[in-house]
Amino acid sequence: MIKALAISLVFAAPASALTLAECDRTTHVSHGGETGHRDVGGARVVYAEWWSQEGVFTNLVIADCAEGMVLTTRTKEERISARTPFDRTEKAVGILETELAVSPSLFSFDRLAQALKGTGRDIEIAALDTEPCACAAAYPGARVWVNPYEAS
């Protein structure tokens, strides 16, 4: 019995752990992807989504791997919509850094969304049903996901 348990544990263990660096990837053949994955503590990760075909945008993404929630905001856009082009990425990252510097018990997506108003555009807080790569890398097993991350 113990031998069978030991064998099942060996086969259940991943061959190699996923790293945050491996999460930098192109998700839409040469014109869209994710980059800059970072573990910011408290079971939270940050990264950017980018797009560069027929226009350019960057979204700042903050995911809570334990709660399964995500905040996304557009920080850069050019030729995507009728809006005037803008790039507020540096300012949005500064706001995020300020919010993260606050005690982890005071950090909240609602508070961050409020702080980003007027800087980030299209701020959205939503539940995640699919595990982001950065959560799989930095906080494997932090929660049971409806759709666990799978490298494609």
List, for residues 32-59, the tens digit of each pLDDT value. 899 999 999 999 999 999 988 788 999 9
What is the bridge-based pairing of β-strands 69-78 and 86-87?
A: antiparallel
Beta bridge partners of 58: 50, 76
pLDDT over 50 at 6, yes or no: no
The predicted model scores a pTM of 0.84
87 found inside a domain: yes
Q: What are 35's strand-pairing partners?
A: 48
Asked which of 12-16, 86-90, 120-124, 142-146 is least confident by mean pLDDT, the reply is: 12-16
Cα 58 from Cα 53, distance rounded (Å): 12
Instruction: Report the pLDDT value the prediction gives residue 11, as an integer from 0 to 100.
Output: 39
Q: Which domain holds residue 50?
A: 20-138
Our count of domains for the chain comes to 1
Note whether residue 152 is domain-resident: no
109 occurs within a structural domain: yes
Is 14 part of a structural domain of the chain?
A: no
Q: Please, what's the b/e burial string for 138-148 (b: 16 or more CB within 10 A of its CB; e: otherwise)? A: bbeebeebeee
